[in-house]
Amino acid sequence: MPQTALVSGGSGFVASHLIQQLLAAGDTVHTTVRSLGAAAKVAPLLELQKAYPGKLQIFEADLLKPGSFDAAMKGCDVVYHVASPFLMPEQIKDGRTQMLEPALQGTHNVLASVEATPTVRRVVLTSTVGAIFGDYIDVLQMEGQVLSEKYFNTTSSVDYNAYHYSKVVAEQEAWRICGLQNRWDMVSINPGLILGPSLTPTSESGSLFLLDELLKGYFFYGVPDLGFTTVDVRDVAQAHIAAAKTPKANGRYIVAEKTMISFIDMARILRKVHKKPYLLPRFQAPTWLIRPIAPLFGLTPIYIKNHFGIRFAVDNQRSLGDLGLRYRPIAETLIDHYRSWAARQAK
């Protein structure tokens, strides 16, 4: 049945796809942005308003401001709390102010508004696989060396792997708050590295930043021995909706492919469609060659030791069974990602 939903952070990479899918399904959507005056960020939402007259309302809200989400949440059945900064290590200068405070305080403020809104029955929280593990090496200590929802990240801190730390702290706090009452329940979506076409050209998502570096040729001389758990942004949006509308959905859901993909394999796929294929690396650089320049990319020796050359399997069975997901092939995701990126570059 159609619902009225709040989507926080509507101008973001995931949220914009989620809003589009909700509107296409006949739902009424309220969404928030930090500033209604940010024309570039709001423009894609205004286009959706025109495409779905009377179905999308845009509100101004600040993750750090108590009560900021009250007006936007009024009359909503479900809340999708998507808004939270995602930056790659080299983008983070201050883990506390850039990562932890908006993630944790934003979760507090959104859930305080949920408490004040009697119509809300379910919250879908956007978390990450980074709330399950800190470094890749952590997964090797899990049962069968398989990534599973039953674990929480215990190795990250505000000074080391700040993005993962902010997400595990925020998710655990959300579960604590949820457990203090019984009017609304919560489901957590824990996606891998989210790739695919962007509907908003101003997104600051770390996954877009990472692929931007690859597509621009920053790794022309060779890529590090890194693999990634990946998922298409459209599948992540679908997972959120299924989590909200499937009564039996509960707990945490890893939303990612079963197998990792390496940086060099990404390059091989993208070389087939890239207008300047010579920009993409053909070789995987040995780790000893990467070490001297690693600080330029925000990579510490411990990060290299705990990530490079490590692969693990992903248990995504709950997302397949409970949520009915069928993951897009990674080649389709990467090619669509490139075409979206190239279209933005051409403007």
220 Cβ contact partners less than 8 Å away, ≥ 6 residues apart: 278, 279, 280, 281
Spacing of C-alpha 310 from chain mean position: 22
Segments in the chain below pLDDT 50 = none
Q: What is the pLDDT of residues 122-145, one digit of tens each?
A: 999 999 999 999 999 999 999 999
**Three-state secondary structure of 29-61:** EEEEECCCCCHHHHHHHHHHHHHCCCCEEEEEC
Which phi and psi (to 5°) does residue 191 adopt? Answer: -80, 160
Ramachandran angles phi, psi of 285, nearest 5°? -75, 140
Q: What is the pLDDT of residue 346?
A: 78
- Quote the pLDDT of residue 102: 84
Based on its alpha-carbon atoms, the radius of gyration of the chain, rounded to whole angstroms, reads 20
User: What pLDDT, on a 0 to 100 scale, did the predictor assign at position 159?
Assistant: 87
Residues 6+ apart with CB under 8 A from 18: 7, 80, 82, 236, 237, 240, 241
**Contact between 103 and 170 (Cβ < 8 Å):** yes
The whole-angstrom separation of Cα 335 and Cα 211 is 12
DSSP string covering 324-344, please?
A: ---PPPHHHHHHHHHHHHHHH
CB 341 within 8 A of CB 211: yes
Would you state the pLDDT for residue 92? Answer: 65
Distances from the Cα of 102 to the Cα of 71, 82, 85, 282, angstroms: 20, 12, 7, 39
End-to-end CA distance of the chain: 40
Within a 10 A sphere around the Cβ of 311, how many other Cβ atoms?
16
The residue count of the chain comes to: 347
Quick one: CA torsion of 320, 238, 60, 36, rounded to 10 degrees?
140
For the chain, the structural domain boundaries read: 4-346
- Which residue type is seen at 56? L
Output the pLDDT for position 83: 82
Which amino acid, residue 18? L
pLDDT digits (tens, 9 = 90+) for 117-127: 999 999 999 99
The pLDDT of residue 206: 57
Residue 188: predicted pLDDT: 98
Q: Which CATH architecture has domain 4-346?
A: 3-Layer(aba) Sandwich (3.40)
Backbone φ and ψ for 33, nearest 5 degrees, come out as -135, 160
Residue 200: the pLDDT is 85
> What are the DSSP calls for 95-124, one per residue?
HIIIIIHHHHHHHHHHHHHHHT-TT--EEE
Q: What is the pLDDT of residue 204?
A: 62
Ranges assigned E (strand) in the chain: 4-7, 28-33, 56-60, 78-81, 122-126, 146-147, 185-191, 193-195, 227-228, 230-232, 251-255, 261-262, 313-314
pTM score of the predicted model: 0.94
- Strands 185-191 and 251-255 turn out to be parallel
Tokens of 32: 């928030």
**196 neighbors 232 (Cβ within 8 angstroms):** yes
